[in-house]
Structure 1
């Protein structure tokens, strides 16, 4: 189900406090573990950076915070929204137009490579591409979603005027070509990772069906997935391989460079 939301920039302390409360509801941060605060949002916007909110009537249902980076880049630090309503996609469209209006050519952000829905959203629905694998980027996480897991992240790059991105924002998904001779570098056997071959030109790397649930019911399996994906996907990317997309909401498609 999708619900249209009104998205606008935010400027007041009261609005920033509402963003803070929204992010707390989504992630369940510890009081001293919030990655961004209302006061910091105030400073960011005063310096010309990006903070937006999505509203269903008077109710805030999503928000996004970003700041300027190097080389005509906006870095999107936090984006959160009510699930299953398409609000996250609308927030990214607003963020993209905001950036283009200011001569910014790309947006970057980090995400957990183990979360299938995020990988599908970022790579297939938006047309972003992984640029770097970042092991334990934020240290060990203490919020309710990550539950003590190591914070491996992928740095996603969204080239705003790339033809694939322009198609994606028109809701044409960016789906990778998977040749018949692709090999499975990491598979899923009954909920646990199984390493395979990585010697093919195209390598498929699976991630678990629901890592957030798995952390709660089988912390050992969740940890095994973390380290297996770090070794296989992170290893391939470190060698210079390119992630070209996310296949069947299950596999990263990784192409070795000739």
Structure 2
């Protein structure tokens, strides 16, 4: 992907291409498209809209966000990131985020916030392992009901914080898994569990007391949803319950392990929590 140029969008045609890519990504009926006028105004007021341009200036991906105040300090909310399917899994998402970070450092921004769906393994890997974000909060149905084809499982999201003052952009793959971790997964995912850890069974809320918990997600939630909406919803219900309980009990997300079949979030309890 060395022939791809990442730069600020510069004219109306490029902003229109960004709108078109939003519809291509979230569906033609997606009603939350950010229009050209708002993209342009946001950029004039300290927002950032960067595009990844390929051969013949084709827009292959973009990242967009707005700058404002959070708790009295300058901060940035990264609202959208999209990459065309034909160039996914080639590092373009990370390149866009790193370019965004460079642009925001020049503005004096120290912290960037955004959301991602906890069930999407590739996004968990990008955010936790490649960018090193911190998960601040789990919000059920953060964006309410959506008409995007990508939001058929609701809009549950992690809110994450990316500290731009941290040295380096890379993060490790999380803490090593240790024996005795309780594994949380929907009923029937027995092969993924550790011995004696039916954590989502009735009355199984005791996993909130465990020192280390692994919350499983599918390696490809889109494929699961295409195969069985009921199965995909079971993953949503189980992970929603687990994250709300664990984070509410003082645990924190310490890492993510991607795998073809299942991804694993590792949550650890803080001493005294």
TM-score by length of 1: 0.89
Post-superposition shift, 1:108? 1.0
**Using a 3 Å threshold, how does the CA distance of structure 1 residues 144 and 128 change in structure 2: closer, same or farther?**
same
Post-superposition shift, 1:192? 10
SS in 1 for 2:209: coil
SS in 2 for 1:64: strand
Alignment match, 2:79: 77
Structure label with greater radius of gyration: 2
**Using a 3 Å threshold, how does the CA distance of structure 1 residues 159 and 29 change in structure 2: closer, same or farther?**
farther
Greater shift, 182-191 or 104-113, is seen at 182-191
Alignment match, 1:230: 240
Post-superposition shift, 1:29? 4.2
Post-superposition shift, 1:116? 0.7
Alignment match, 2:145: 140
**Using a 3 Å threshold, how does the CA distance of structure 1 residues 191 and 106 change in structure 2: closer, same or farther?**
farther
SS in 2 for 1:30: coil
Unaligned runs of 5+ in 2: 201-206
Alignment match, 2:203: none
Distance, in Å, in 2 between the alignment partners of 1:91 and 1:36 is 18
Alignment match, 2:104: 99
Distance, in Å, in 1 between the alignment partners of 2:252 and 2:26 is 30
Alignment match, 1:207: 217
SS in 2 for 1:162: coil
How many pairs are equivalent? 250
Mapped pair 1:130 → 2:130 = no
Alignment match, 1:12: 11
Where in structure 2 are the equivalents of 1:42-81 lying within 5 Å? 42-57=40-55, 58-69=57-68, 70=70, 71-81=73-83
RMSD: 2.2
Alignment match, 1:116: 121
Where in structure 2 are the equivalents of 1:176-215 lying within 5 Å? 176-186=175-185, 189=189, 195-196=199-200, 197-215=207-225
